[in-house]
C-alpha cells in the first residue's frame, strides 16, 4: 500500500468490509474540508478526539453505533411494509433530537469564530463502480459546500479504473464491498457517523455552494411540521441535452408521486429511520431505490428539497428517448406487482450506463404477449398499473405541452384528473375497465413499432442453446450487465397486483 494511506479490515454486520483513508490532500476538496472545524460525534471526553473527514474505522470505533441494517430477507415477508415501522412515539423522540442536532449553519458559524468542535450534520454516501470519469468532479463540489459540517463516504463495488484512488485523494472515506447497488449503499450507511444521510450517484452535480445546507434546513422545517417521518429528494435537471426534450421528465421529478422519485434525485433521510424500515434491498440488481421509496411512502412521506440535482441524459440519448421510456414503463409495471419471471429471463433490463446501446422494442412486446398468454391474470395487473400510474402521467404531459417548464408548478390538467377522475377510477371496477384500452394500446404500439422495424441490441433470437435444449443445468445465459450483479431473487412483498402503495428513480 502506498505511503500516506492506511487500511483496516473490519467486520460489520457479519460482513467483512475494508475501509481506506488517505492522509494526503491533493485536491481542492481536501483543502476545503481541512479549513473547516474538526469533527466530533459528541463532546464527552471519550469522544472528544477530533477526526478528519477521511478516517479509518476500527472494530472498537464501530462498537456502540447504531444497529446494523437488518437482513434484507425480512423486507419481503407476507406482512405489510408498515408492520416494520416502530411506534410513532419513538419517532417523536427521534424527531426532537433531530431538530436539536441539525443547526448546521449556526453551528459552523459559531465554531468558525470560537474554534469549538463542529457538529457533524450530514454524511454523503456515493456508490461507485468504475466512475473515474465522474467521481472527482462531484467530490470537488462537495468540498466546496458551505454552511454545514459533512463527511463523504464512497462505497466502491470493485472498480478497476482507479475510482477509489481518486476518492482517497479527495479526502473521502472509501468502503470496499462486493458489487451491487443496494449492498454498496448499506455498506456506506454503516460507515456513516452523521444523523442525516444523503445518497447521491457519482454522475450527479450540485447547483449551488449552499445547496446541502439549504436542503438540511428545509428538511428540518418540513419534518418538524410533519406527524410522520419524511425523506427528501431534489428535482432533476439534465445538463447535456436540449431543455425542451426533457422538460417532461424534469417536471415529473418534482411531483413526488408514485414511482417518480429515484436514486438520481438524491435521497436525504434520517439514519435511524432508514435502519428502522430495513435499509436497501441487497439482492436486487436494480430498482433498489424504487423498493425503498415504496416502503418510505407506506410508513411516511416525501418532501421536495430546494435546488436541483443535475444529471446526464446520456442513457436516453444513446438508448433512444422513446425506447428507454417504453422499457422503463414496462419494467415498472412488472415491478409493481413483483413479477419475478420478467426479471429472470436473462435479458438485460437495465445496463450500466457505460455499456448502454440502442434498445429494441419488438422483442419486448413479444415477451410481454408471451407472459399474458401463459398467465392471463397478468393482463389485469397491467391494466391496474395503467389505471393507477399511466393516466395521471398523460394528464401531466398535457400540462407540459401547455405550460412548458412551468408545468412542475402549474398543472391544471393533473389537478382535474386528481379531482374528477381518480376518485371514480382508482378501484377494482376502474382496473377492469382499463383492460380493453390496455390491450388496444398494446397492439397499436406493437403494430406501429413493427412498421418502423427499429433495430436494437435486444435481438429476436435469444443467445445460447434453443429453449428445447435448455435444462436445469443449462439455464439461459446472463447478460453482460447482469453478470456484474446478483440475479434477482426477490419475492412478492404483497400479493396484491400493485404493492407500491398510492405514492412514489430517474
Percent of the chain with pLDDT over 70: 62
Nine-digit cell at 228?
410522520
| Same-domain status, 206 and 346 | no
What are the beta bridge partners of residue 304? Answer: 233
| Same-domain status, 275 and 348 | no
List of E strands, 26-148: 39-40, 118-128
State yes or no: pLDDT of 448 exceeds 50: yes
CA 83 – CA 86 distance, rounded (Å): 8
| Same-domain status, 449 and 342 | yes
Look at residues 262, 385, 289 and name the one whose alpha carbon lies nearest to residue 333: 385
- 37 belongs to a structural domain: yes
- 62 belongs to a structural domain: no
CA 95 – CA 192 distance, rounded (Å): 19
Q: How many CA atoms lie within 13 A of 502 on its CB side?
A: 8
Burial (Cβ within 10 Å: 0-12, 13-18, ≥19) of residue 490: buried
Structural domain count of the chain = 2
Residue after which a domain boundary falls, among 289, 312, 335: 312
- Mean pLDDT along residues 62-80: 38
State yes or no: pLDDT of 216 exceeds 90: yes
Least confident of 208-217, 344-353, 481-490: 481-490
* Domain that residue 207 falls in: 5-56+83-312
Percent of the chain with pLDDT over 90: 37
pLDDT level of residue 478 (50, 70, 90 thresholds): very low
| Same-domain status, 117 and 160 | yes
| Same-domain status, 302 and 380 | no
pLDDT top residue among 274 and 60: 274
- Mean pLDDT along residues 259-286: 90
State yes or no: pLDDT of 98 exceeds 80: no
DSSP summary character for residue 9: E
- 498 belongs to a structural domain: no
| Same-domain status, 237 and 350 | no
| Same-domain status, 226 and 344 | no
- 172 belongs to a structural domain: yes
C-alpha dihedral over 250, 255, 261, 264, to 10 degrees?
A: 30
| Same-domain status, 252 and 384 | no
pLDDT level of residue 356 (50, 70, 90 thresholds): low
Specify the pLDDT at position 361: 83
| Same-domain status, 201 and 141 | yes
What are the beta bridge partners of residue 303? Answer: 232
- 293 belongs to a structural domain: yes
Look at residues 463, 459, 491, 489 and name the one whose alpha carbon lies nearest to residue 476: 463
pLDDT in tens, 151-187: 999 999 999 999 999 999 999 999 999 998 899 999 9
- 237 belongs to a structural domain: yes
Give the length of the chain: 506
CA 232 – CA 256 distance, rounded (Å): 10
Nine-digit cell at 90?
419513538
Specify the pLDDT at position 95: 54
Specify the pLDDT at position 2: 44
Q: What is each CA distance from 361 to 351, 397, 478, in whole angstroms?
A: 15, 22, 19
Domain CATH number, residue 119: 3.90.550.10
- Mean pLDDT along residues 95-119: 44
Report whether 157 contacts 178 (CB < 8 A). yes
Enter the pTM of the model.
0.68
pLDDT level of residue 82 (50, 70, 90 thresholds): very low
pLDDT level of residue 196 (50, 70, 90 thresholds): very high
pLDDT top residue among 59 and 216: 216
- Mean pLDDT along residues 477-492: 38
State yes or no: pLDDT of 92 exceeds 60: no
| Same-domain status, 282 and 209 | yes
Buried-state track 454-467, b at ≥16 Cβ within 10 A, e below 16: eebebeeebeeeee
- 265 belongs to a structural domain: yes
pLDDT level of residue 404 (50, 70, 90 thresholds): confident
Q: Are strands 5-12 and 15-22 parallel, antiparallel or unpaired?
A: antiparallel
Report whether 343 contacts 349 (CB < 8 A). yes
| Same-domain status, 173 and 283 | yes
pLDDT level of residue 380 (50, 70, 90 thresholds): very high
- 71 belongs to a structural domain: no
Residue after which a domain boundary falls, among 294, 312, 330: 312
State yes or no: pLDDT of 22 exceeds 60: no
pLDDT in tens, 357-377: 678 888 888 889 999 999 889
State yes or no: pLDDT of 236 exceeds 60: yes
| Same-domain status, 443 and 385 | yes
Residues whose CB is less than 8 angstroms from the CB of residue 314 and which lie 6 or more positions away in sequence, other chains included: 240, 353, 356
Least confident of 132-146, 180-194, 358-372, 451-465: 451-465
Distance of CA 436 to the CA centre of its chain: 34
Residue after which a domain boundary falls, among 251, 279, 312: 312
To the nearest whole number, what is the mean pLDDT of the chain? Answer: 72
Amino acid at each position: 500500500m502506498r505511503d500516506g494511506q492506511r487500511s483496516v479490515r473490519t467486520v460489520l454486520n457479519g460482513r467483512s468490509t475494508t475501509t481506506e483513508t488517505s492522509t494526503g490532500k491533493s485536491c481542492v476538496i481536501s483543502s476545503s474540508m481541512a479549513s473547516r472545524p474538526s469533527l466530533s460525534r459528541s463532546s464527552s471526553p471519550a469522544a472528544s478526539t477530533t477526526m478528519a473527514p477521511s478516517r479509518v474505522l476500527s472494530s472498537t470505533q464501530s462498537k456502540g453505533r447504531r444497529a446494523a441494517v437488518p437482513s434484507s430477507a425480512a423486507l419481503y415477508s407476507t406482512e405489510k411494509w408498515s408492520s416494520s415501522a416502530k411506534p410513532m412515539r419513538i419517532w417523536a423522540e427521534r424527531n426532537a433530537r433531530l431538530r436539536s442536532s441539525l443547526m448546521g449553519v449556526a453551528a459552523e458559524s459559531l465554531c468558525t469564530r470560537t474554534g469549538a468542535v463542529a457538529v457533524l450534520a450530514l454524511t454523503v454516501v456515493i456508490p461507485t463502480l468504475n466512475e473515474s470519469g465522474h467521481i472527482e468532479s462531484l467530490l470537488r463540489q462537495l468540498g466546496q459546500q458551505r454552511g454545514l459540517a459533512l463527511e463523504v463516504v464512497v462505497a466502491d463495488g470493485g472498480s478497476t479504473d482507479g475510482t477509489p484512488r481518486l476518492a482517497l485523494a479527495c479526502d473521502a472515506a472509501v468502503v470496499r464491498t462486493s458489487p451491487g447497488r443496494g449492498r454498496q449503499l448499506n455498506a456506506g450507511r454503516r460507515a456513516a457517523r452523521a444523523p442525516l444521510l444523503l445518497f447521491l450517484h457519482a454522475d450527479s452535480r450540485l447547483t449551488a455552494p449552499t445547496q446541502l445546507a439549504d436542503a438540511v434546513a428545509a428538511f428540518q422545517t418540513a419534518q418538524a411540521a410533519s406527524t410522520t417521518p419524511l425523506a427528501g429528494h431534489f428535482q432533476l435537471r439534465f445538463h447535456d441535452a436540449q431543455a425542451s426534450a426533457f422538460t417532461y421528465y424534469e417536471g415529473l421529478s418534482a411531483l413526488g408521486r408514485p414511482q417518480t422519485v429515484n436514486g438520481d434525485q438524491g435521497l436525504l433521510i434520517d439514519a435511524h429511520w432508514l435502519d428502522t424500515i430495513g435499509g436497501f434491498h441487497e439482492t436486487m440488481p436494480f430498482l433498489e431505490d424504487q423498493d425503498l421509496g415504496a416502503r418510505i411512502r407506506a410508513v411516511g412521506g416525501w418532501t421536495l428539497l430546494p435546488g436541483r440535482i443535475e444529471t446526464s441524459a446520456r442513457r436516453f440519448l444513446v438508448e433512444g428517448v422513446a425506447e428507454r421510456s417504453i422499457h422503463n414503463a414496462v419494467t415498472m409495471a412488472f415491478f409493481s406487482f413483483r413479477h419475478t419471471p420478467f426479471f429472470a429471463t436473462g435479458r438485460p433490463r437495465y445496463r450500466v450506463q457505460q455499456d448502454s446501446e440502442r434498445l429494441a422494442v419488438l422483442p419486448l412486446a413479444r415477451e410481454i404477449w408471451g407472459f399474458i398468454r401463459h398467465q392471463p391474470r397478468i393482463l389485469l395487473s397491467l391494466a391496474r398499473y395503467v389505471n393507477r400510474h399511466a393516466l395521471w402521467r398523460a394528464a401531466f404531459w398535457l400540462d407540459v405541452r401547455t405550460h412548458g417548464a412551468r408545468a412542475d408548478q402549474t398543472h391544471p390538467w393533473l389537478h382535474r384528473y386528481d379531482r374528477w377522475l381518480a376518485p371514480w377510477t382508482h378501484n377494482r371496477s376502474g382496473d377492469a375497465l382499463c383492460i380493453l384500452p390496455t390491450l388496444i394500446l398494446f397492439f397499436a404500439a406493437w403494430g406501429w413499432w413493427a412498421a418502423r422495424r427499429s433495430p436494437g441490441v435486444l435481438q429476436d433470437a435469444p443467445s445460447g442453446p434453443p429453449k428445447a435444449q435448455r435444462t436445469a443445468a443449462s439455464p439461459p445465459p446472463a447478460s453482460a450487465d447482469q453478470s456484474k450483479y446478483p440475479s434477482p431473487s426477490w419475492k412478492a412483498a404483497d400479493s396484491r397486483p400493485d404493492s407500491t402503495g398510492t405514492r412514489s428513480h430517474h
